């Protein structure tokens, strides 16, 4: 039980990163590899700032850090005309060094510090406190993102990824939209990195490696769920992505319980993503 | 109203594929005029529209709109005055947004798109009112994604969206080229009516010589990047055969 409750907490902590991928991939149609670096950036900032200034300031700074990282990728892509994928790879590579510079070493333990999860003490079991904190955090973040996406600004963001010619003809600077949009996406990713670091009680320089694949898988599962439940509203896509993260983490937890070697988890992650990405093709063939 | 002064555009300069798309183009459009542009493929018609819209920047020359030099302005900055209908009906609308959301963006063409939310009920009533004129039943499909509509419906929606907010100049790039005859007729009639009602200055590229028999008040023919014919269309309009002879 404890094992699965922990899985729920971690899955929800990853959900903000899933929303980040959702923004870059599904709204802007940009495969953004920056995620791997900005996720660790969020954790790195938490590990250094939180002990001195507390978790609120640390999370605000990690949000800003992630936003700037995303903006950098957007700038390379739109202003320097670098391929979107390559722009993300450049920022991600640069972030590896930046994260090391921030942390000063490759791993920082966060044991015994006051963090977002220790801010609430209602239940006898600390796991339920953690679950409550992460659910409330996600609801607040989801509401903020939902409000942005349904506003006029969000509409023009969605149109930028959907029909660039149309939205430019309606007076929108799509370059700025992409820069800010990738900024928002990576701000959510960095926030997620910070939440995961606080949950696991450590920050590690390698914790973001391959995370984009996990996020992609979560978004794909979320999309499959959205199609199954015939969800069209952009607001309802957000809980679908959260469910995607949860299902993905539960599948991995189940594999671990079956005795799968933890070293093989990345391989399993890749296989899961491959299955979910190719599901529509299977569906077509069998129908 | 619109003036192009010695406008030149060359693609793939200094390469074996160099194309002089626009060569010393001088053109003046009067307010409320409706000008048609014809010409064979590669004559520079679409490039001319693109340079006016701002999606292609000129190499040399000047473009003035309402006395304002817009030569170096990017397309999205010109859109406060210029609206555009694309040849491909899919380019003028966002397929994954609902009809209402598409119109919301169209209504904000000259306004900032910030953290504001539309009053759905009030705006739905406004949009329904303008959609009724299409007689396509779209007023009952406001919450449907535009991607589910036919090419003809989407082009008609594009036209309504383009003219939903105030504008000075409407550019139409073969708006019926991808449509079936019936949709084409509906879109053309709508174009004609909206231009007349709103007193819009319009510039339309067409490959269909029949349009020249019935539409517009001025006809320009382009060839190899130059304007080779510029005629006023009054009562003595050129007939189909005569127009076809211009291409020989």
- List, for residues B28-71, the tens digit of each pLDDT value: 999 999 999 999 888 899 999 999 999 999 999 999 999 899 99
d(C-alpha A249, C-alpha A221), whole Å:
12
Q: In A, which residues are within 8 Å of B97 by CB distance?
A: 155, 158-159, 162
Of A163, A169, A232, the CB nearest to B79: A169
The answer to whether B243 contacts chain A (CB < 8 Å) is no
Domain ranges (residues) in chain B: 2-246
Smallest CA–CA distance from B158 into chain A, residue: A166
Per the CB < 8 Å rule, is B113 touching A152? Answer: yes
Instruction: Decide: A224 and A237 in contact? Cβ < 8 Å.
Output: no
Q: What is the DSSP string of B93-137?
A: S-TTSBHHHHHHHHHTTTS---S----HHHHHHHHHHHHGGG-SS
The H-assigned helical ranges of chain B are 45-53, 75-78, 99-107, 120-131, 151-162, 181-198, 209-214, 240-246
CB contact at 8 A, B22 and B7: yes
Cα(B184)–Cα(B29) distance, rounded to whole angstroms? 26
Q: In what order do the strands lie in the sheet with B201-205?
A: B82-85, B169-173, B201-205, B34-39, B218-223, B226-232
Q: Which residues in A lie closer than 8 A to residue B86 (C-beta atoms)?
A: 165
Q: Let me know if residue A272 belongs to a domain.
A: no
Q: Does B107 touch chain A (CB under 8 A)?
A: no
Q: How many domains does chain A have?
A: 1
Quick check: is A91 in a domain?
yes
Euclidean distance between CA atoms B92 and B152, whole angstroms:
12
Reading the block at residue A286, the tokens are 């069998």
Domain carrying residue A87: 2-206
pLDDT tens track of chain A, all 287 residues?
777 888 899 999 999 999 999 999 999 999 999 999 999 999 999 999 999 999 999 999 999 999 999 999 999 999 999 999 999 999 999 999 999 999 999 999 999 899 999 988 888 888 999 999 999 999 999 999 999 999 999 999 999 999 999 999 998 999 999 999 999 999 999 999 999 999 999 999 999 998 998 899 899 889 888 888 888 888 889 999 999 999 988 988 888 888 888 888 888 888 888 888 787 777 777 77
The label of the residue with tokens 């959510």 reads A188
* Bridge partner residues of B106 (DSSP): none
ipTM of the complex: 0.87
Mean pLDDT of the residues in chain A: 92
Secondary element (H or E) of residue A37? helix A34-53
What angle, 0 to 180 degrees and rounded to 10, lies between the N-to-C axes of helices A34-53 and A84-103? 30
DSSP label at B237? P
Q: What is the CATH number of domain B2-246?
A: 3.40.50.300
pLDDT, one tens digit per residue, over B206-227 is 888 888 888 888 999 999 999 9
What residue in B sits closest to A158 (Cα-Cα)?
A: B97
Mutation target to probe the B interface, by most B beta carbons within 10 A, among A22, A149, A170, A173 is A170
A275 in a structural domain: no
């Amino acid at each position: 039980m404890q094992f699965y409750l922990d899985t729920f907490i971690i899955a929800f902590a990853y959900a903000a990163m899933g929303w980040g991928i959702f923004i870059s991939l599904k709204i802007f149609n940009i495969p953004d590899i920056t995620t791997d670096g900005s996720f660790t950036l969020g954790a790195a900032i938490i590990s250094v700032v939180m002990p001195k200034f507390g978790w609120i300031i640390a999370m605000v700074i990690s949000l800003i850090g992630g936003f700037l990282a995303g903006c950098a990728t957007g700038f390379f892509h739109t202003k320097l005309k670098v391929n979107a994928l390559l722009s993300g790879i450049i920022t991600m590579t640069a972030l590896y060094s930046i994260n090391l510079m921030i942390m000063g070493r490759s791993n920082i333990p966060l044991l015994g510090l006051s963090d977002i999860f220790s801010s609430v003490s209602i239940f006898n079991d600390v796991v339920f406190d953690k679950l409550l904190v992460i659910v409330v955090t996600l609801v607040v973040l989801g509401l903020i993102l939902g409000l942005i996406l349904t506003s006029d600004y969000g509409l023009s963001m969605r149109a930028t990824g959907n029909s660039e010619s149309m939205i430019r003809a309606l007076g929108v600077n799509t370059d700025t939209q992409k820069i800010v949009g990738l900024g928002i996406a990576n701000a959510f990713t960095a926030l997620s990195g910070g939440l995961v670091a606080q949950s696991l009680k450590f920050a590690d320089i390698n914790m973001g490696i391959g995370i984009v694949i996990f996020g992609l898988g979560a978004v794909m599962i979320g999309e499959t769920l959205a199609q199954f439940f015939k969800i069209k509203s952009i607001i309802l896509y957000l809980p679908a992505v959260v469910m995607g993260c949860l299902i993905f983490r539960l599948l991995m937890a189940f594999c671990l319980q079956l005795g799968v070697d933890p070293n093989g988890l990345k391989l399993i992650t890749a296989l899961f993503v491959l299955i979910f990405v190719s599901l529509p093709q299977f569906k077509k063939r069998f129908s | 109203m619109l003036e192009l002064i010695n406008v030149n555009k060359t693609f793939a300069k200094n390469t074996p594929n160099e194309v002089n798309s626009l060569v010393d183009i001088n053109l003046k459009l009067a307010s409320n005029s409706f000008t048609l542009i014809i010409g064979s493929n590669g004559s520079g018609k679409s490039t001319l529209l693109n340079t006016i819209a701002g999606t292609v920047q000129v190499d040399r020359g000047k473009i003035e709109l309402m006395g304002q030099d817009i030569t170096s302005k990017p397309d999205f900055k010109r859109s406060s005055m210029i609206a555009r209908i694309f040849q491909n009906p899919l380019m003028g609308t966002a397929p994954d947004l609902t009809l209402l959301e598409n119109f919301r963006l169209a209504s904000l063409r000259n306004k900032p798109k910030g953290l504001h939310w539309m009053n759905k009920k009030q705006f739905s009533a406004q949009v329904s009112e303008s959609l009724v004129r299409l007689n396509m039943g779209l007023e009952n499909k406001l919450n449907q994604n535009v991607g589910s509509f036919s090419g003809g419906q989407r082009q008609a929606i594009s036209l309504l969206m383009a003219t939903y907010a105030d504008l000075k100049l409407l550019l139409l790039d073969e708006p019926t080229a991808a449509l079936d005859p019936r949709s084409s007729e509906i879109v053309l009639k709508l174009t004609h009516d909206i231009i007349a009602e709103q007193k819009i200055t319009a510039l339309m590229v067409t490959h269909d010589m029949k349009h020249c028999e019935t539409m517009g008040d001025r006809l320009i023919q382009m060839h190899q990047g130059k304007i080779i014919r510029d005629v006023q269309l009054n009562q003595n309009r050129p007939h189909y055969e005569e127009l076809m002879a211009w291409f020989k």
